[in-house]
Amino acid sequence: MSAFGTLETPVGVIGVESDGAAITRVTWRSTAPEGSVIAADPGADPLLAEALAQLRAYFDGALQRFDVSVDLGVQTTAARAVLLALQETVAHGETVTYGGLAARSGTAVPARGIGSIMGANPVPLIVPCHRVVAGDGLGGYSGGDTGRGLETKRWLLEHEGALPTSLF
């Protein structure tokens, strides 16, 4: 059984799921997935409490790198390599293109395939898929509240200093 907790952020309510050994999901939702128990006291699952505290610190501008255990779930070898390359080589305040991430990962995944892997990332923010951009703009983003993906991506990149703050 997994535990689920939420955090109100400037980009919506973030839901975090823990199996006690690793963070298994980060989503923009305030209701627990089927089979999860809403943690009335996130402290009952120390990992969940730590993940929520680190996310709070990130949004407060006090944390630049997450250090909680994550479980990427079932992934192909190439997808896992891409997600790990992203987590390990693209720092707070930096961006990388889809093609650049493909090269960093050492896989033969084409840039378009990198986009699909980013869209399937089970732990966005912690594995920072918002830092992956197109060569000619922001690219896509499936995080955020429904219909607000690119707005969320822009906010996250501005928050990290990777983009100048928008005037409107």
d(CA 84, CA 96): 14
Listing DSSP states for 74-86 in one string gives S--HHHHHHHHHH
> Among the residues of 43-167, which ranges form H helices?
46-59, 77-89, 98-105, 111-119, 149-160
> How many C-beta atoms lie closer than 10 Å to residue 15's C-beta?
20
Q: Which of 51, 70, 117, 129 is catalytic?
A: 129
Residue 97, Cα to own-chain centre: how many angstroms? 16
- Per-residue buried b or exposed e for 115-144, using 16+ beta carbons within 10 Å of the residue's own CB: bebbeebbbbbbbbbbbbbeeeebbbbebb
Question: Is 158 an active-site residue?
Answer: no
Helix (H, G, I), strand (E, B) or coil at 111: helix
Cα 53 to Cα 62, 149, 156: the distances in Å are 11, 24, 18
Q: Catalytic site residues?
A: 129
